[in-house]
Amino acid sequence: MRSMQNFTANREYQKTLKKSGHPVVSRFIKVNRWINRPLAWVVVKALTPTGITPNQVSVASFFIGVAGAACFAMGGTKWFLAAGILSQLSSIVDCADGMLARAKDMESVYGKYLDIFLDRIVEFLLIGGIALGLFRTTGRSWFLILGLLGTSVYFLHVTLYYITINYYHSRESGETSEMRALLLILILLFAVINRLDIGLWVLLVIAVITNIYIIVNFFRLPKKQPPLA
């Protein structure tokens, strides 16, 4: 196990956030650095002496996120607030799994992809839960349509992003983590002010702009010919 003396939240952040293909993300969006990782560091210090594994932390983050999605789906101000808090808690715990893996020298390829796999499921459930909860609260069916559009455009962004980094064989990390952290803290903020309807519109607009950026950037960057598998 690594010494905890020089193992800090800021050092961990620098390990996970390298030079990004999206300068706006790396320069201005630092939810993980300022909020999530300092709080996750408390979790890591508590869990390091225990037998809890990083993968178990990933699963815990997943179930917290699922609970948040279920609360969103219930509808109503109190449920929305509880859901927003659970969503942000899930985001904090999600930061702790990788930090714990490095603290315990338990990093693995499976753990990395387990984290990505579960995160995408939680994001899908959260957006769907918000749309369903708004529909149940207001009776307006267009929230379901807005939720479907938001989910589709958001996951188009995720798909295009991973296609791009796979094409360029990029090993850069941290960018999707910061984007996800931004998404979940915005969900919390809109839940607190009880304006998740605006939150869905913001998600849709940001996802559209991000998709345009990725598409333009893909055709603008130098073409590479990676070896075929």
Confidence of residue 174 (pLDDT cuts 50, 70, 90): very low
Q: Using N-to-C axis directions, what is the helix angle for 9-16 and 37-47, rounded to 10°?
A: 110
pLDDT category, 42, cuts 50, 70, 90?
Answer: very high
Q: What is the pTM of this model?
A: 0.84
pLDDT band at 19 (very low <50, low <70, confident <90, very high): very low
Contacts of 144 (CB under 8 A, 6+ apart): 131, 132, 135
Segment 109-165, tens digit of pLDDT:
999 999 999 999 999 999 999 999 999 999 999 999 999 999 999 999 899 988 888
How sure is the predictor about 11, in pLDDT bands with cuts at 50, 70 and 90?
low
pLDDT beyond 70 at 33: yes
Q: What is the DSSP letter of 5?
A: T
Secondary structure letter of residue 139 according to DSSP = -
Read off the pLDDT of each residue in 94-112 and give the average, rounded to a whole number: 92
- Give the closest residue to 209 by CA, choosing from 31, 32, 22: 22
Question: How many other C-beta atoms can be found within 10 angstroms of the C-beta atom of residue 114?
Answer: 17
Domain 21-220 has CATH 1.20.58.220: no
Beta-carbon count within 10 A of 195 CB: 14
Q: What are the C-alpha distances in Å from 139 to residues 77, 128, 134, 229?
A: 15, 16, 8, 50
Q: Is the pLDDT of residue 87 over 60?
A: yes
Q: Is the dihedral of CA 177, 179, 183, 188 positive or negative?
A: positive
Q: 228: left (phi > 0), else alpha (psi -120 to 50), else beta?
A: beta
At 101 the pLDDT is: 93
* pLDDT in the model for residue 27: 56
- Average pLDDT score over residue span 169-187: 74
Average pLDDT, the chain: 85
